[in-house]
Structure 1
Amino acid sequence: MSDPVNQQRPIQGLRQLFSRRNGIAWAMLVFTLLVQLVVWHNLRSSENRAAEQQFEMLSEKVTEAIRKRLRDHEQILLGGAGLFDAVEQVTREQWHAYVERLLLPDRYPGIQGVGFTQAIPAASRDAHVARIRAQGFPDYDIYPPGQREFYTSIIFLEPFVGRNLAAFGYDMYSEPTRQRAMRRAAQLGETSITGKVTLMQETHGKVQAGVLLYVPVYQPGAPLLTPKQRMQALIGFVYSPYRVEDLMRGILRAADLPLALHIYASNGEQAEQLIYASRETVDPDNARYSQVQQLDLYGQTWTLRLDSLPEFDNRFHSNEALVMALGLGLSLLVFFLTSSLALRHNRAQAMAEEMTRHIRQSKHDLRLSEERLSLALKGSNDGLWDLDLEAGSMYASPRAWEMLGYRPNELTCDLKLWERLTVAEDLAQQKARLAQTMLSNVDHFTTELRLQHKHGHVVPVLLRGYIQRDPQGMAQRISGTLMDLTERKRVEQMKNDFVSTVSHELRTPLTSISGALGLIVGGALGSAPAPMQQMLEIAYRNSLRLGHLINDLLDMEKIAAGKMSFELREHSLGDLLEESLASNQALCEQHGIRCSLDHPVDVLVWVDGMRLQQVLGNFLSNAVKFTPQGGQIRLHSSLRGPRVRISVTDQGPGIPEAFRSRVFEKFAQADASDSRQKSGTGLGLAITKELIERMGGTVGFDCPPGQGTTFWCELPIQPSTSETDSRDDLPRILVVEDEPDTGRLLHMMLREGGYGVERVQSLHQAREKLAAGRYEAMTLDLHLPDGSGMQLIDELCEKPAMQNLPIVVISAAHQFDQAQFPERIVWLHKPITNAQLLTAVEKARSNVRQANGGST
């Protein structure tokens, strides 16, 4: 007997399947079926577009192949016409040698031959026949017979064997279709092609449609301005006959075209003008894709009809049934999975309760942690904050809220709170800085923020934090303190206001004083008594000293505050040195000192021209100060590897040994006593050092005993337009950067770090360089004119020889997905420093070595 319980189970399963509780599964089935229908429709539309594009491309390929082959044949005929132009009387042997040299069967399959038909007036017919018969052709005659005013006779046709023998002596001008093409060629002086004809060569086998191509040949030196003159000067025609099926087989033999092709020698699809039909044909009404094109060829119009064959259609539409079956199967699978989940409601509810209990426990633990942190820093005047990235929560101590004028937890505490409190114009920069910190391996960080107070004013704060990371280096929690910088910023503002007051209120009257004293000392107001003149000169010199002192103080203040701007660009060093010499020549002449320039090799440097002039002015004025009257100062330069040294040598007493370590310090002077002989602020060389270092250079001095002092600065040499270092002993780096100034800066930084550098500005150039040479590393900008840098990264990952190339991504993007980048890639955010770049390159190379087990 059967078990009643077992019989009831299938029935209960079916009832549950069609029950109301399973309605969501049925809804999902309907939804997925609709989605699959939309996907199938879009797929079919996409396949249709792809097929249409492929059909269009193949059609263009066929028409271009025909046009190119006929153009090549025209060149052959033009070459034959050139032979007649160059040789007064072309012999049969010369014509045979010319055609044999063309290798027609191998290079131009389908061409029947290359021949010459001579134009013969009626009066010269008999003499012409006699001459040809005398050449060894006793049976030669012009046919068809009959009296005509004008004859043409085929006298040369190579290869002169087989079918071509039947055309010897034929008067093509006697046949109307050929005559129209020949008359057009002769009167216009252009290449012409006939309509559909039957060639004289059709002596056996299948008769094919034929066409002929003509190039006229004229008497050398004859006038050819009008059609009548051309006809009078006509010698004959160089021509080629074509059996069209053989011609098309030669043109299309390399192309496996899944298309049916019909060619008509007319403006439309006229059946009587059909000159070619491919072996595989299809009813145009049944072809999925069809196209009719017209080809204008040497005075004739060909109509080409192209229809797709089933072979072509199957390339794009063969998978439609499979896609439908897969979509239906996927919909049924989703339906049964959804049913299974819906019918297990109790189990899902239990799981939800368990998850809720875990969430509550996590919140309890988080609250305890926040209390401990609050107690630990309760006595501190700084604010405390804590971001739990996993829980998505934020805590701020009462002091932190107080700084911004809020009560504790007055605002919603979440991970975006700091963005809402940050001053709007600073947000993008701070987010980029945070992203860079999160991607780096640092655990501690310090930064300044400007936060918005509840009452509207800005509160500057100092943020210190610690990042807790998991074993994979991903940040889990960030905690730190908040310090109010309002008072410090107020003091700095007072300092800046003071500097501004000095700049405007002190420099302006001082300029007037110096100018007035200069006019008086120069005698503009008449001569003054000698004692008064002496006092005025003292006042004038000291006003100038005071002006220099104020300028130096202001420059040092700008440098210290980071407000001194630099306009770096490419300069010719020779031009800068000549300009500096000219600017300081008057000062040298005033002190009776000669100044010379020695600059043997001109190079390019990447500097702020005005700041470099300031540096050279400091060097030269310092040299004038210590060189005795009648002495000489030398401004000279020399190459030091990839750098150029600019030097100023004086004839002074030199620098005391005890003072040499403090030469470039602020307010440092060798003689600091009240009775010192040489005046100065002690700031010029300190400013010079700061300016040169800001432009990527170094400064120093040489003081050999008894030979004066040479102050020098060294600057990197800017590469010429090649942007390439050719030394083979340097590790090579490829810089991929489309912005010229940034590219030159990276080039200079890496070259200073001891690398050989090559720079390109596009993906295409980068691919060529990587394929042609080997590089130790590559810097890459993500935004390039011909695509994204991510494309290049993906391509390198697919090539075994390139997938371990160290890469430093340098981009101005503020947001990015770290998961897109392989582990060997180091990311830098613009702007960058020299040290950051070199560190990133070494880190990328180290990552690759570690991934390869220590080998490179």
Structure 2
Amino acid sequence: MTSLTRQQARSRRRRRLNWTISLALLLVLGLGVELLLQQYALRQFEAAQQRLTARAGEVRAMLLSELNATLHLATGLASYISARHGQVHSPELQPWLDGLLRRSPYIRNIGLAPDNRISFIYPLAGNEAALGLYFPDRPEQWPAVQRIIADGKPGLVGPLQLVQGGSGLIYRVPVFLDDQGYWGLISTVIDFDPLYAEVERVADELNLAIHLERLDGAAASLVKGHDADGSPTVALQVQLAGAHWRLEAREAHAETPPLGWLRLLGWSLALAISSLIGLTLHGQHRQAALLLALNHSQRQFRLAFEMAPQGLALLDPQGRLLSVNQALCELLQRAPEDLLDQPLARFGDPTLSAYLDGLLGARDGRSAGSGHACLIDAHGESIDAALSAARLNSRTSGGDGWILHVQDIRESKRLQRLQNEFVSTVSHELRTPLTAISGPLELIDSGALGEVPEHLRQMLQIARHNSRRLGLLINDLLDIGKLEAERMPIACEPMALQPLLDQVLQSNEAYAAGHGVRLRQIGVCADWVRVDGQRLHQVLSNLLANAAKFSPPDQDVELRGERRGQYMRVSVRDRGPGIALAFHPRIFQKFAQADASDTRKKGGTGLGLAISKELIERMGGQIGFDSIEGLGATFWVELPLAEPALQEQPA
């Protein structure tokens, strides 16, 4: 397993560990959230129970208060009868009973039952059915009456269905005379429904729903109330005069604690914290991995720097050598210690100094990034070198360095020179026999040497056509050789552009007509340009010839001139098939042709556009094209305007 593979495996394990820690932290925080919510819900429940118990106690106190007031009135009546030795006079009792009923609005009637038979009842209206009631004849009531008599204490029973209708609570007080003889009962009937309605009203004001149950031993029966819905409740005992009730109360409109939102908030916070810690761990891991990768990259770069077959050097902003590789040391035949911390310009001629001045003065590092210069080795030998540089740490200010690539081109220049000399020699050697061939062919075809038989005329025309093509190829080869050897003289001077365009159109009109194409100029150019007239004629003739060659028959090739700032643009537009997108990068290269097959329909050497580019750039201009495949092409050249024309421009 390689070192890189082991590092990747450790990185994967570290990532899994980080995510495991984040997940475990999320679960721990989530458990803490749930515990806190549980404690919060418990405390809220306890507080609600306390509030509920207090309000239920108010309801119970109100119920007991109403009942006690009534029972005290009945007890007072029993004392009155005992004091009268059992003698009851209705006229005397009437005003006193009126006062009792006014003080206790829930008393339905008060009955006197000497010897357990109700012989007096007040008020009588509405209670006639109870008059004359004999308790021993009421099996549902007699046992309770017997217990009261036996205990000698008052007793409250009910609610019961009354013989006179409705339900009520009955408070029975046994009356004993001074000789402890049993006299009878005082029966006070409390109207239960309005009493309970008042109790419910008070409960509603306290936001309570109540249930009142009667307890008989272990059994419980609902007296009043509604079905419970599972809300928290409290149960209070209500005991009065032997009656045992249970009052249950719950919130009528319970407010549920916002546990859902609190849970969502808590889990969101837990997720945020665990995610933040996880991202922090991941960031630390990534930072460590990046540092590791950076160290690995630096080692790889250093290894590539040292082992590169071409010369490489690192320069500081002042052009001093910070580091050199073995190939550069061998090229200059110097030891590394002789090169380090020395200005690079010391090891070259003025061309190297000029290159470095342009390089170190360039802000973007591209305008002077490539070039040629001559280096000097330890023995004083000149070394032709191609130089290219790239800026290092370009985002910093004042501390930019450079990495310089040095390529020994002595051999390639020697081979190029031999190639150019060979092409030039071959071209010159071919021109002489070609002239000797094409001259006689012209004489024979013109009939100067006698009439040519018809069956030979076509063959002569083919021979003349191919000799012309060979002549053009030789001329192009000679031109490109001269340009590369910088032996082609170019003399730029101010010239009127329109006469040059007229000459070009006139000299190429016959060629275009041979292809069924018309040449036409759009507008008139009154400007002057600084060019070599003969070379501009050569360039425009090549562009017009190409446009005519690739245009469909009976179409126009348009020549147009227009001013663009300090340049005059001359464009040639055709309506041919256009230029394939894949061929765009190679169109100005030598011997480049869109159709390079042996059966291509259009002739040409593939040197015309390369020669045109060299000529235009030597004249200080630019050449280019615009084309969409299938919609024709427009080739253009931009020529520097002459000084007189520039001065005529408006300010």
TM-score, normalised with respect to structure 2: 0.41
Q: RCO higher in 1 or 2 (8 Å CA, sep ≥ 6)?
A: 2
